[in-house]
Amino acid sequence: MTDTFGRVHTYLRISLIERCNLRCTYCMPEEGVLLSPKSSLMTCEEIYTIAKTFVENGVTKIRLTGGEPLIRKDIPVILEKLASLPVELSISTNAVIVDKFIDTFKENGLQNINVSLDTLDAAKFKEITRRNDFEKVYNNILLLVSEGFKVKINTVMIKGFNDDEIIDLVQLTKNLQVSLRFIEFMPFDGNKWDMKKMVSYAEIMKKLNSFYSEEQIERLQDAPNDTSKNYKIKGYKGSFAVISSVTNHFCDTCNRLRLTANGHLKNCLFSATESDLLTTLRAGKSIEPIIEKAVQAKLKVRGGMDTLKKLQEPKLHTQNRSMITIGG
């Protein structure tokens, strides 16, 4: 699975469900989304079959996403089946009900968990998620860490909302062994994206440099194909990073493919083009030619939005899905 730019794709993100128990404004439009009918969503067996095909073609890492993957009733079975494949298995969750799955994760060897948390203020949490679950999420993060899981906290930065919490969020890593990741606000259908709302990588680092000395901020070695620029404050247990998808993209080393809950392959998060694997699978035909064609069609940068001017063009955002139906 090598594209025309020499990028080898070894990482598959699988969305299990389009529904979620939160309503984050940057992910789900205020009016909601048109959900796929249940009959068009991948079954547990179909998820396994498609994942197995990708593994046979070079995928070594699978991350489960949603919506909120843990609200899918057959999630224990899905985890058990995927854990039988020779891959690193991980999950992204909002952590509202993650406490119910501690044993399930351990039984299936799942160690890496990404949790969404955009603020440390309960009132602002309710504002952005449209739900009152801050205490649940925060306490479940503490629980995951205490149970020995490797936890990354994903924080979408929005100007005028949480950019005043940059220092407080990094302070979390002082006594908590987590990796906090600031994510630049990205455009998707229905999330009212505006370049003026975005807090850039440069702005985040400027804020941190005004509080910590140059000697305190340590640049860490990024992993191969990493989307984040990684740092740590000397003496702190945890670390922090910035994912600069907008101002400083990492497309040159991208190794990711995405499978939506209704079985469509997206070769890029920003791409409006999709390849329907599920219909072909249900027809009893091989999905490998479709996968190969999709990988070969991958554009060099952000689904063709290779400049900030193109990224700011609203009609290009609305050709894509809203984030909740892509998979976080």
What's this model's pTM, rounded to 2 decimal places? 0.90
In terms of Cβ atoms closer than 10 Å to its own Cβ (0-12, 13-18, 19+), residue 212 is middle
* Percentage above 90 pLDDT, the chain: 73
Note whether residue 297 is domain-resident: yes
Joined together, the tokens standing for residue 93 give 């969750």
- Residue 234 neighbours by CB distance under 10 Å: 10
CATH number for the domain spanning 217: value is 3.20.20.70
Amino acid 25: pLDDT: 78
Give the contacts of 292 (CB within 8 A, at least 6 positions apart).
1
Note whether residue 2 is domain-resident: no
Note whether residue 312 is domain-resident: yes
Number of domains in the chain: 1
Strand partners, 114: 92, 152
269 pLDDT tier (thresholds 50, 70, 90): confident
Domain assignment of residue 124, given as a range: 11-321
How far is Cα 295 from Cα 293, in angstroms, rounded to an integer?
6
Q: What's the pLDDT tens digit per position in 182-209?
A: 998 866 554 455 678 889 999 999 999 9
